[in-house]
Chain A
Amino acid sequence: MSTSSNSSAPLLEMRAIHKSFPGVQALKDVDLIVHPGEILALLGENGAGKSTLMRILDGVFPPDSGQIIWQGQPVNLRSPHDAQAIGISMIHQEIALIPYLDVGKNIYLGREPRGVVPGMIHWRKLYADASEQLARLGLTIDPRTPVRDLSIAQQQMVEVAKALSLDARLIVMDEPTSSLTDTEVETLFAQMRRLKEQGVSIVFISHRLNEIFTVAERVTVLRDGTLVGSKPVRELTQDELIRMMVGRDVADIYMRDEQDAPAVGTSAPILEVRNLTRGDAIEDISFTLNRGEIVGIAGLVGAGRTELAETLFGVHPPTSGEVLLNGTALRLNSPAQAIRQGIALVTEDRKAQGLFLRMSVGTNITMKLLAKLASFGIIPGGKVKRVGSEFVEKLNIRTPSLGQRVRNLSGGNQQKVVIAKWLTLQPRVLILDEPTRGIDVGAKAEIHRLMRALVAQGVGILMISSELPEVLGVTDRVLVMREGRLVAEFNTRQTSQDEIMTAATGAKTSW
Chain B
Amino acid sequence: MVTILRRGTVFIFLIGLFVFFSLSSDRFFQDRNLTNILVQNAHIIIVTVGMSLTMISGGIDLSVGSVAALCGAISAGLMVRNGLPAEVSILLGLALGFVIGAINGALVVFGKLPPFIATLATLGVARGLTLYYTEGRPVSGLTEAYTFWGRGSINDIPTPLIVWLIVVVAFTVMMTRTRFGLHVYAVGGNQETARLAGIPVDRVKILCYALSGMLAALAGVLLTGRVNSAQPQAASGLELEAITAAVLGGVSLFGGVGNIPGGVVGALLVGVLGNGMNLLRVQSYPQQIIQGVVLVSAVAIDMLTKRLESASKRTKSAASR
Contact with A along B280-321 (1 / 0, CB 8 A): 000000000000000000000000000001000100011011
Residue B240 is within 8 A (CB to CB) of chain A in the complex: no
Grouping DSSP codes into helix (H, G, I), strand (E, B) and loop, the B interface class, with mixed when no group exceeds half, is: helix
Contact between A111 and B256 (Cβ–Cβ < 8 Å)? no
Name the A residues within 8 Å of B178 (CB-CB): 119-121
Residue A232 is within 8 A (CB to CB) of chain B in the complex: no
Residue A400 is within 8 A (CB to CB) of chain B in the complex: no
Residue A152 is within 8 A (CB to CB) of chain B in the complex: yes
Name the B residues within 8 Å of A121 (CB-CB): 177-179, 182
The CB with the most chain B CB atoms within 10 A, among A98, A114, A152, A181, is that of A98
Contact between B192 and A302 (Cβ–Cβ < 8 Å)? no
Contact between A301 and B321 (Cβ–Cβ < 8 Å)? yes
Contact between B256 and A100 (Cβ–Cβ < 8 Å)? yes
- Known interface pairs A109-B197, A111-B197, A181-B321; A119-B186 also in contact (CB < 8 Å): no
Instruction: Enumerate B136-178 residues with CB–CB distance to A below 8 Å.
Output: 177-178
Residue B99 is within 8 A (CB to CB) of chain A in the complex: no
Q: In the complex, what residue of chain A is closest to B185 when comparing beta carbons?
A: A101
Contact between A109 and B313 (Cβ–Cβ < 8 Å)? no
Instruction: Enumerate B61-99 residues with CB–CB distance to A below 8 Å.
Output: none
Residue A358 is within 8 A (CB to CB) of chain B in the complex: no
Q: In the complex, what residue of chain A is closest to B181 when comparing beta carbons?
A: A121
State which size class the interface on A falls in.
Answer: 20 to 34
Contact between A119 and B179 (Cβ–Cβ < 8 Å)? yes
Q: In the complex, what residue of chain A is closest to B310 when comparing beta carbons?
A: A148
Q: In the complex, what residue of chain B is closest to A147 when comparing beta carbons?
A: B189
Contact between B190 and A97 (Cβ–Cβ < 8 Å)? yes
Name the A residues within 8 Å of B277 (CB-CB): none
Contact between A109 and B186 (Cβ–Cβ < 8 Å)? yes
User: Smallest Cβ distance from A61 to chain B, in angstroms?
Assistant: 15
Residue A87 is within 8 A (CB to CB) of chain B in the complex: no
Contact between B190 and A110 (Cβ–Cβ < 8 Å)? no
- Known interface pairs A112-B179, A121-B178, A181-B321; A100-B198 also in contact (CB < 8 Å): no
Contact between B193 and A109 (Cβ–Cβ < 8 Å)? yes
Residue A448 is within 8 A (CB to CB) of chain B in the complex: no
Contact between B256 and A109 (Cβ–Cβ < 8 Å)? no
Q: In the complex, what residue of chain A is closest to B190 when comparing beta carbons?
A: A98
User: Smallest Cβ distance from A445 to chain B, in angstroms?
Assistant: 28
Residue A269 is within 8 A (CB to CB) of chain B in the complex: no
Residue A81 is within 8 A (CB to CB) of chain B in the complex: yes
Q: A201–B198 Cα gap in the complex (Å)?
A: 24
Q: In the complex, what residue of chain B is closest to A148 when comparing beta carbons?
A: B313
Q: A84–B197 Cα gap in the complex (Å)?
A: 9
Partner-B contacts on A (CB < 8 A): 80-81, 84, 96-101, 105, 109-112, 114-115, 119-121, 123, 148, 151-152, 181, 301-302
- 20 more CB-based (< 8 A) A-B contacts, given A100-B185, A101-B256, A111-B197: A96-B196, A97-B190, A98-B185, A98-B189, A98-B193, A98-B194, A99-B189, A99-B256, A101-B186, A105-B182, A109-B193, A109-B194, A109-B197, A109-B199, A110-B186, A112-B182, A123-B177, A181-B321, A301-B318, A302-B318
